[in-house]
Amino acid sequence: MSQEDTPSNAIILPFMDATGLVDTSPGWKKISMILAHVGDKWTIPTITMLTTQPRRFNELKRLIGDGISPQMLTRTLKALDRDGLVKRKVEPTIPPQVEYALTDLGHSLAEPLMQLTTWLLDHIGEIEGNRAAREVESNSAGRKPFAPRFV
């Protein structure tokens, strides 16, 4: 399909060619790696908790809730800092007080993440219903049910 044959309502994303095929260039691999990091289990809630104001480590840990260890929160914050999404501010007190805040880049990411989260909340019942229906279909056909990697 040439560019002229592409339907006028087709969306061509930066990582797709005119035929709709995904570009497997190094650029796409970089996008894929960053999406995996940005969409991981602890990055989304960490960014979400920093959207309204800077926070200290223990406050972040408490807001994110059970399940995140101090080590995992430290790794997440270091990765976000490395990517320029979070800035770390150390107050020269004894003991030092460390505060984390989103950078402008981090805030620009928070908006689409919040939109995605809203979409998911609006459609989670439908998605779960579809999963349950597929599981019933698989069971009745004697196939092993699909188990998503991320639940």
- Per-residue pLDDT tens digits of the chain, which is 151 residues long: 444 555 555 555 555 666 666 666 677 778 888 888 888 899 999 999 999 999 999 999 999 988 899 999 999 999 999 999 999 999 999 988 999 999 999 999 999 999 988 999 999 999 999 999 988 888 887 776 666 655 4
Q: Is residue 146 part of a domain?
A: no
Q: Are 11 and 4 in contact (CB under 8 A)?
A: no
Q: Is residue 3 part of a domain?
A: no
Report yes or no on whether pTM surpasses 0.75: no
Residue with tokens 């406050």: 59
Q: Is residue 2 part of a domain?
A: no
Report CA 68 to chain centroid distance, whole Å. 16
**Residue 16 carries which side chain, given as an amino acid letter?**
M
Taking the alpha carbons at both ends of the chain, their separation in whole angstroms is 37
Q: Is residue 148 part of a domain?
A: no
How many structural domains is the chain composed of? 1
Q: Is residue 135 part of a domain?
A: yes
Rounded alpha-carbon distances, angstroms, from residue 73 to 76, 82, 84: 5, 14, 16
* Continuous segment of H or E residues that includes residue 99: strand 97-102
pLDDT of residue 2: 45
* Structural domain of 42: 13-140
Q: Is residue 70 part of a domain?
A: yes
What CATH number does the domain containing 126 carry?
A: 1.10.10.10
